[in-house]
């Protein structure tokens, strides 16, 4: 929805808040950078400060758009000869409860400052930056000057946590009682709600969106019935539980809770069996095991485990778009009597005098009234991580912001669940981590970083040759996604280029990948999440859009990618020599993944991180009770998923396919059974 605030309406409030308005620059001189028309505004060359009062405009209404985190943000501004008189901001396509709710606030700031150079909004930096860029465009149109947005000074020392809001009793106009309260409905919330209801509890789900979100296509588990059957034919798919635990501890450099890992190892198989039965009883879905662990005859540095399970539609249901996992889960919840409050956000947890969590204060997103929800058996937080809260990311994971490229299919979680639990006394993981896949790309004139808006590049995880912006190879391209990205973090501008040639289809099949990056059926016949032909059609779109570069010579490709030609050609020649020899003497990549770049046309693209979610959250024990800063459980409070910690650190172990999703669902089911039984 567009947010409209006129100058006349805004000025009515100035008398009551003169001090705060002065801080915004209304009562003082406001500077705006501009450069002469035709100069390079983006470089800052020729820009000089000009007081806002000295600007003159051609009266009228002007509009401009800029790319936000999930959509184009549109700003429409009206001017008289000397001032901005009206601002309308359309952020309807942005993430609800994050960028989608800041239009009014940004309108007020722009009107107050008479400038595009205003402070952003905590947690919604990308959308705020898009608004400022579009506002600068409007001012440029009206003034005839090229106006630039000043670079904000970023700080990692901000108080991202803050304090729990004080809500007056008189403002709480609704009270609801339940037994098990589930906060957030995505991968964890669905499983938690259905399990608690099956166990006989009265269940209420609170979700800030208008509809619940879904689960991922890969569900990681050990010792499911499907695995046991597959092992009979392919013994190499068997997973040693102790080996799996040790490997997960290694991925986390020891900063993990081995007892939590054991819960996933021991209970995930039962969870998948339950889910398989639930889905297959509908006749619309079947579950498959992704029965592949790579080329065991030519093993690489890092071992893969066949943990991935994927639900697929049956042939009879395939053409019915109304049949989805969400609709299936919703029907089951309805049959069990699960109650819902959608478009309702968690504000804070409520505790009694002994610290026990008794429920929450929530806010209705439609009329903004406050609701007290009492939960007699317990509150289970399934609210996700904080990948969309830029302020938290700057404080806790600034290195991730350097690597990521914004794309609308990333996380939409803002850390609200984590903050609410910490306000109630919860302790946070000491080591911060994220799940990042190398599946985002940017233009050859851009580099990675959270302010860069790019495109989805599923091909990015194929272990083709990768070079830095100096045109040089810098690591073994084969292995966990984040090993590649962490190596990229050490390179200039935290960006690299994927390089491949006309034989890429043959090589992609030869790579024998596992998990969601596999583009061909698994050895046991299970379908891949994405097929090569579909992914290549998306690559063709990237060529048309100017992202993926296609060239007849290596020299031409280097020029199109804006990397040094001589370095690049020398790198490719050296790489081709290693491929011919079948031994990677430089970085140790497996023989079957040493594929030459020698057949035109040649392809290249600038690549960065696709940030799916954060993985550090509040500490929990093996009963999924949230722990305080001393490691003691907070009575009445439970959690699962990306708002919790203890399972991951430093690197996401993607060679355990579907691990994060399987962990979330397993822990949610565990918590639901325990809380419902109270």
pLDDT tens for 245-286 read: 999 999 999 999 999 999 999 999 999 999 999 999 999 999
Asked if 520 and 631 sit in the same domain, the reply is no
Contact 281, 235 (CB under 8 A): no
Asked if 468 and 569 sit in the same domain, the reply is yes
Residue 32 pLDDT > 90, yes or no? no
Q: Where is mean pLDDT largest: 32-46, 49-63, 140-154, 434-448? A: 434-448
Please compute the mean of the pLDDT values over residues 293-308 and round it to a whole number: 88
Tokens 């070079």 sit on residue: 467
For the domain that residue 124 is a member of, what is the CATH number?
A: 3.90.1010.20
Q: Report how far residue 212's alpha carbon sits from residue 644's, in angstroms, rounded to the nearest whole number.
A: 20
Closest by CA to 619, choosing from 437, 424, 357, is 424
Asked if 670 and 598 sit in the same domain, the reply is no
Asked if 336 and 479 sit in the same domain, the reply is no
Q: Report how far residue 675's alpha carbon sits from residue 408's, in angstroms, rounded to the nearest whole number.
A: 35
Q: How many domains does the chain have?
A: 3
Q: Per the domain annotation, does 307 fall within a domain?
A: yes
Q: Per the domain annotation, does 11 fall within a domain?
A: yes
Residue 333 pLDDT > 50, yes or no? yes
Closest by CA to 656, choosing from 671, 666, 668, is 666
Residue 597 pLDDT > 50, yes or no? yes
For the domain that residue 318 is a member of, what is the CATH number?
A: 3.50.50.60
How confident is the model over 631-662, as pLDDT tens digits? 999 999 999 999 999 999 999 999 999 999 99
Asked if 374 and 476 sit in the same domain, the reply is no
Which residue among 582, 611, 640 closes a domain? 611
pLDDT the model gives residue 154: 53
Asked if 607 and 634 sit in the same domain, the reply is no
pLDDT the model gives residue 411: 67
**DSSP annotation of 358:** E
Q: Per the domain annotation, does 422 fall within a domain?
A: no
In the chain the first and final C-alpha atoms are separated, in Å, by 44
How confident is the model over 156-167, as pLDDT tens digits? 456 899 999 999
Choose between 653 and 68: higher pLDDT: 653
Q: Per the domain annotation, does 103 fall within a domain?
A: yes
Pairing outcome for strands 172-183 and 203-206: parallel
Please compute the mean of the pLDDT values over residues 318-326 and round it to a whole number: 95
Q: Report how far residue 247's alpha carbon sits from residue 652's, in angstroms, rounded to the nearest whole number.
A: 12
Q: Report how far residue 474's alpha carbon sits from residue 493's, in angstroms, rounded to the nearest whole number.
A: 14
Asked if 313 and 380 sit in the same domain, the reply is yes
pLDDT the model gives residue 215: 86
Please compute the mean of the pLDDT values over residues 488-494 and round it to a whole number: 95
Min mean pLDDT across 13-22, 25-34, 114-123, 341-350 is at 25-34
What mean pLDDT is reported for the chain? 89
Choose between 1 and 133: higher pLDDT: 133
Residues 6+ apart with CB under 8 A from 631: 427, 619
Asked if 638 and 657 sit in the same domain, the reply is yes
**DSSP annotation of 33:** E
Q: Report how far residue 591's alpha carbon sits from residue 578's, in angstroms, rounded to the nearest whole number.
A: 9
Closest by CA to 55, choosing from 126, 130, 142, is 142
Confidence of residue 409 (pLDDT cuts 50, 70, 90): low
Residues 6+ apart with CB under 8 A from 48: 33, 34
Please state, as a whole number, how many other Cβ atoms lie within 10 Å of the Cβ of residue 317: 18
Tell me how far the alpha carbon of residue 17 is from its chain's centroid. 38
Residue 41 pLDDT > 60, yes or no? no
Asked if 485 and 567 sit in the same domain, the reply is yes
For the domain that residue 551 is a member of, what is the CATH number?
A: 3.90.700.10
pLDDT the model gives residue 4: 38
Q: Report how far residue 106's alpha carbon sits from residue 115's, in angstroms, rounded to the nearest whole number.
A: 11
Q: Is the bond into 601 cis (omega within 30 degrees of 0)?
A: yes
Q: Report how far residue 263's alpha carbon sits from residue 666's, in angstroms, rounded to the nearest whole number.
A: 8
Closest by CA to 647, choosing from 677, 670, 672, is 670
Instruction: Copy the structure tokens of residue 400.
Output: 């991730």
Asked if 224 and 272 sit in the same domain, the reply is yes
How confident is the model over 81-114, as pLDDT tens digits? 999 999 999 998 887 767 888 999 999 999 999 9
Asked if 116 and 235 sit in the same domain, the reply is no
Which residue among 585, 611, 637 closes a domain? 611
Alpha helices in 25-77 (DSSP H): none
Instruction: Copy the structure tokens of residue 467.
Output: 């070079």
Q: Per the domain annotation, does 491 fall within a domain?
A: yes
Residue 31 pLDDT > 50, yes or no? no
309 bridge partner residues: 219, 289
Please compute the mean of the pLDDT values over residues 517-527 and round it to a whole number: 91
Residue 453 pLDDT > 70, yes or no? yes
- Alpha-carbon separation of residue 261 from 254, 266, 459, 667 (angstroms): 12, 9, 31, 10
Contact 481, 611 (CB under 8 A): no
Residue 428 pLDDT > 60, yes or no? yes
**DSSP annotation of 460:** G
Closest by CA to 453, choosing from 64, 118, 70, 42, is 70
pLDDT the model gives residue 468: 98
Q: How many helices (H) and strands (E) does the chain have?
A: 18, 26
Residue 242 CB-density burial (10 A; 0-12 exposed, 13-18 middle, 19+ buried): exposed
Confidence of residue 123 (pLDDT cuts 50, 70, 90): low
CB-facing half-sphere around the CA of 652: CA atoms within 13 A: 24
How confident is the model over 194-215, as pLDDT tens digits? 999 999 999 999 999 999 988 8
Closest by CA to 370, choosing from 102, 164, 96, 169, is 169
Closest by CA to 217, choosing from 623, 661, 556, is 661
Residue 353 pLDDT > 50, yes or no? yes
Q: Report how far residue 238's alpha carbon sits from residue 249's, in angstroms, rounded to the nearest whole number.
A: 19
Choose between 558 and 517: higher pLDDT: 558
Q: Per the domain annotation, does 421 fall within a domain?
A: no
Which residue among 593, 611, 629 closes a domain? 611
Sequential DSSP letters for 369-404:
-EEEEEEEEEEEE-----TT-HHHHHHH-HHHHHHB
Please compute the mean of the pLDDT values over residues 578-605 and round it to a whole number: 98
Please compute the mean of the pLDDT values over residues 142-167 and round it to a whole number: 81
Residue 423 CB-density burial (10 A; 0-12 exposed, 13-18 middle, 19+ buried): middle
Asked if 572 and 538 sit in the same domain, the reply is yes
Choose between 556 and 214: higher pLDDT: 556
Contact 236, 297 (CB under 8 A): no
Q: Report how far residue 278's alpha carbon sits from residue 258's, in angstroms, rounded to the nearest whole number.
A: 30
Global confidence as pTM: 0.83
What is the residue range of 254's domain?
Answer: 182-385+617-676
Q: Per the domain annotation, does 394 fall within a domain?
A: no
Q: Per the domain annotation, does 368 fall within a domain?
A: yes
How confident is the model over 356-395, as pLDDT tens digits? 999 999 999 999 999 999 999 999 999 999 999 999 999 9
Residue 45 pLDDT > 70, yes or no? no
Q: Report how far residue 585's alpha carbon sits from residue 565's, in angstroms, rounded to the nearest whole number.
A: 23
Residue 352 pLDDT > 80, yes or no? yes
The number of residues making up the chain comes to: 678
Q: Where is mean pLDDT largest: 66-80, 143-157, 278-292? A: 278-292
Residue 27 pLDDT > 80, yes or no? no
Confidence of residue 23 (pLDDT cuts 50, 70, 90): very low
């Amino acid at each position: 929805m567009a947010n409209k605030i006129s100058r006349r309406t805004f000025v009515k409030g100035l008398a009551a808040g003169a001090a705060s308005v002065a801080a915004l620059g209304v009562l003082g001189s406001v500077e705006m950078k501009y450069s002469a028309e035709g100069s390079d505004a983006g470089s800052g060359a020729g820009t000089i400060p000009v007081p806002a009062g000295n600007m003159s405009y051609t009266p009228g209404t002007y509009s401009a758009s800029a790319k936000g985190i999930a959509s184009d943000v549109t700003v429409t501004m009206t001017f008289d000869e000397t001032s901005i008189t009206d601002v309308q901001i359309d952020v309807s396509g942005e993430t609800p409860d994050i960028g989608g709710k800041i239009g009014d606030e940004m309108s007020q700031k722009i009107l107050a400052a008479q400038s595009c150079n205003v402070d952003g909004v905590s947690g919604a930096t990308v959308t705020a930056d898009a608004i400022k860029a579009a506002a600068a465009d409007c001012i440029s149109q009206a003034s005839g000057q090229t106006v630039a947005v000043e670079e904000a000074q970023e700080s990692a020392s901000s108080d991202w946590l803050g304090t729990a809001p004080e809500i007056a009793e008189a403002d709480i106009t609704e009270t609801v009682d339940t037994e098990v309260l589930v906060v957030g409905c995505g991968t964890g919330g669905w499983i938690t709600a259905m399990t608690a209801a099956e166990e006989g509890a009265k269940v209420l789900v609170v979700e800030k969106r208008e509809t619940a979100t879904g689960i991922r296509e890969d569900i990681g588990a050990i010792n499911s019935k499907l695995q046991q059957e597959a092992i009979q034919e392919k013994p190499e798919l068997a997973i040693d539980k102790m080996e799996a635990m040790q490997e997960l501890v290694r991925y986390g450099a020891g900063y993990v809770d081995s007892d939590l890992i054991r819960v996933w190892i021991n209970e995930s198989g039962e969870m998948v069996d339950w889910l398989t039965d639930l889905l297959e009883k509908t006749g619309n879905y079947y579950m498959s095991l992704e029965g592949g662990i790579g080329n065991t005859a030519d093993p690489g540095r890092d071992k893969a485990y066949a943990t991935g399970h994927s639900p697929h539609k049956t042939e009879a249901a395939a053409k019915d778009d109304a049949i989805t996992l969400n609709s299936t889960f919703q029907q089951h919840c309805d049959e069990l009597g699960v109650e819902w409050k959608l478009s309702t956000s968690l504000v804070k947890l409520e505790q009694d005098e002994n610290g026990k969590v008794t429920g929450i204060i929530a806010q209705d997103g439609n009329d903004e009234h406050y609701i007290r929800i009492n939960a007699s058996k317990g509150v289970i937080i399934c609210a996700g991580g904080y990948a969309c809260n830029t302020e938290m990311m700057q404080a806790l994971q600034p290195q991730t912001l350097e690597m990521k490229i914004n794309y609308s299919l990333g996380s939409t979680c803002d850390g609200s669940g984590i903050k609410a639990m910490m306000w109630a006394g919860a302790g946070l993981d000491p080591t911060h981590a994220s799940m990042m896949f190398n599946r985002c790309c940017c233009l050859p004139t851009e580099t990675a970083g959270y302010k860069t808006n790019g495109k989805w590049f599923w091909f990015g995880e194929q272990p083709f040759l990768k070079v830095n912006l100096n045109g040089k190879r810098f690591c073994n391209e084969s292995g966990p996604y984040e090993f590649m990205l962490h190596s990229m973090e050490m390179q200039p501008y935290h960006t690299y280029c994927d390089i491949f040639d006309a034989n890429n289809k043959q090589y992609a099949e030869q790579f024998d990948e596992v998990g969601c990056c596999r583009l061909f059926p698994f050895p046991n016949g299970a379908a891949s999440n994405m097929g090569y032909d579909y992914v290549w059609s998306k690559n063709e779109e990237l060529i048309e859009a100017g992202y993926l570069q296609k060239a007849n010579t290596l020299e031409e490709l280097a020029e199109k990618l804006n990397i040094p030609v001589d370095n690049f050609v020398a790198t490719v020649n050296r790489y081709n020599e290693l491929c011919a020899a079948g031994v990677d003497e430089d970085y140790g990549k497996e023989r079957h993944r040493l594929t030459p770049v020698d057949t035109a046309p040649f392809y290249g693209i600038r690549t960065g991180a696709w940030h799916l979610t954060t993985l550090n959250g509040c500490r929990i024990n093996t009963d999924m009770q949230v722990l305080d800063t001393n490691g003691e459980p907070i009575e009445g409070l439970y959690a699962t998923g990306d708002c919790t910690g203890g399972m991951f650190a430093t690197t996401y172990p993607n060679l355990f396919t579907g691990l994060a999703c399987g962990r979330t669902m397993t822990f949610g089911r565990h918590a639901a059974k325990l809380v419902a039984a109270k």
